C-alpha cells in the first residue's frame, strides 16, 4: 500500500503521514514545498522504513510510475496570516494543485481525499453548520483567496467524481489544534499559548464573543483515515461540536499555563466568522466517527509541547 500526502510536512499533514505508516501503509510519500510546512515536522519519520520526503510543489504536477493506492491533498496555507501573506499560491494550490492531485489519483485508480475547510461556510448564517449549507462567503474580501480556493477544489473534486468516476472524498475540517502547530502562524491556539508562556499580553480579536469549535489533531486524523477507507464522497464535516468563545479560550489557556498575562483586544478582522460549530451527524453515521479527546486534555498536551520547545530554545 502506497500513499501520497501533499502538504505532508505541514501541521495536520505530518500527523497524517505518521498515522498512515502506523496503520499499515508500506510507503508514504510526503510532498511539500515548505511554504508553510517544515522538514522539522517529519524529522522523526525521515529514518523510518517506507517514508519518503520530497520537496516539490503539487501546483506544477507530480507523477509516479509505482502504483499509488491513496492520494490525500492537504497542501495549502491554512492560517489567516499565511494565506493573507500568500494569496496567489493559496489560490493556485486550491485550483491547479487539486487538479494535479486528482490526475495522479485517476491515473492509478487511487482513493482521493481532499482536505477542505469549514471556511467553505464563510461567516455562516446557519448554526450549527451542516454539509448541505452553501455558505456565506465574500469572494472579493481578503479571506476569499482561501475560502474560494477550497470551494473551487471541492467543485473540481466532484466534477472528477461525477464525470470520470473518480473515487473521491471531501472532508471539511473545522478548527484543529495540537503539537507541531507553528508558533506565530496567526492561529488563535498557538498565539495564545506562546503569549501566555512568555508572560506577554494575550490578544483576542473583537470583544472575544466569536466562537470556534476546537478538535485535537489525533481525533481529526482518525476521521480522515476513516474517510480514506470508505467510498463516501462527502463532503463530511470533521470537527468538535464543543463550541466556546475566544475570550473563554484565552481564559482557559491562561489558567492551564498558570500565566498572569493580561488579556487585550485587537480589532476584529474583516469577514471573520462570528460563530463556528460543526454538525457531525453525517460523520457519526457514515464514518462512525466523533472526537474523543476533551478540549482541556488536548490543550494540556499542546501547552506541554510548546513549553518544551521554549525550554529547548
Residues marked active site are found at: 146
Residues 230 and 172: their CA atoms lie apart, in Å, by: 16
Strands 211-213 and 243-245 come out as antiparallel
Cα gap 106→98, rounded to integer Å:
12
Cα 192 from Cα 200, distance rounded (Å): 9
Helix then strand then coil, in percent of the chain rounded to 5, is: 45, 20, 40
Compute the radius of gyration of the chain from its Cα atoms.
19
The 3-class SS string of 70-122 reads: EEEECCCCCCHHHHHHCHHHHHHHHHHHHHHHHHHHHHHCCEEEEEEEHHHHE
Question: What 3-state class would DSSP assign to 150?
Answer: helix
**Contact yes or no for 55/34 (Cβ under 8 A):** yes
CB 295 within 8 A of CB 240: yes
- Strand (E) or helix (H) holding 12: helix 11-22
How many angstroms from the chain centroid is the CA of residue 249?
19
Amino acid at each position: 500500500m502506497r500513499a501520497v500526502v501533499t502538504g505532508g510536512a505541514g501541521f495536520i499533514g505530518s500527523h497524517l503521514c505518521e498515522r498512515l505508516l502506523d496503520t499499515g501503509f508500506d510507503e508514504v510519500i510526503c510532498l511539500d514545498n515548505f511554504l508553510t510546512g517544515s522538514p522539522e515536522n517529519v524529522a522523526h519519520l525521515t529514518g523510518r522504513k517506507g517514508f519518503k520526503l520530497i520537496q516539490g510543489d503539487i501546483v506544477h504536477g507530480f507523477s509516479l510510475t509505482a502504483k499509488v493506492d491513496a492520494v490525500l491533498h492537504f497542501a495549502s496555507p491554512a492560517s489567516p496570516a499565511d494565506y493573507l501573506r500568500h494569496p496567489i499560491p493559496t489560490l493556485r494550490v486550491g485550483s491547479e494543485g487539486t487538479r494535479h492531485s486528482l490526475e495522479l489519483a485517476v491515473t492509478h485508480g487511487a482513493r482521493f481525499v481532499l482536505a477542505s475547510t469549514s471556511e467553505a461556510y464563510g461567516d455562516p448564517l446557519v448554526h450549527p453548520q451542516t454539509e448541505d449549507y452553501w455558505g456565506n462567503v465574500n469572494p472579493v474580501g481578503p479571506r476569499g483567496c482561501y475560502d474560494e480556493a477550497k470551494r473551487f477544489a471541492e467543485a473540481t473534486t466532484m466534477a472528477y467524481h461525477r464525470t470520470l468516476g473518480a473515487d473521491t472524498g471531501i472532508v471539511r475540517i473545522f478548527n484543529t489544534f495540537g503539537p507541531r502547530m507553528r508558533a506565530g502562524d496567526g492561529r488563535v491556539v498557538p498565539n495564545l499559548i506562546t503569549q501566555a508562556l512568555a508572560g506577554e499580553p494575550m490578544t483576542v480579536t473583537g470583544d472575544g464573543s466569536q466562537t470556534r469549535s476546537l478538535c485535537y489533531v489525533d481525533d481529526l486524523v482518525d476521521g480522515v483515515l476513516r474517510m480514506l477507507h470508505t467510498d463516501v464522497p462527502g463532503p463530511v464535516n470533521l470537527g468538535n461540536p464543543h463550541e466556546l468563545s475566544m475570550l473563554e479560550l484565552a481564559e482557559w489557556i491562561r489558567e492551564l499555563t498558570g500565566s498572569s498575562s493580561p488579556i487585550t483586544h485587537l480589532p476584529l478582522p474583516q469577514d471573520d466568522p462570528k460563530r463556528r460549530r460543526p454538525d457531525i451527524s453525517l460523520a457519526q453515521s457514515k464514518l462512525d466517527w466523533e472526537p474523543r479527546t476533551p478540549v482541556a486534555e488536548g490543550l494540556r498536551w499542546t501547552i506541554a509541547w510548546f513549553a518544551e520547545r521554549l525550554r529547548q530554545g
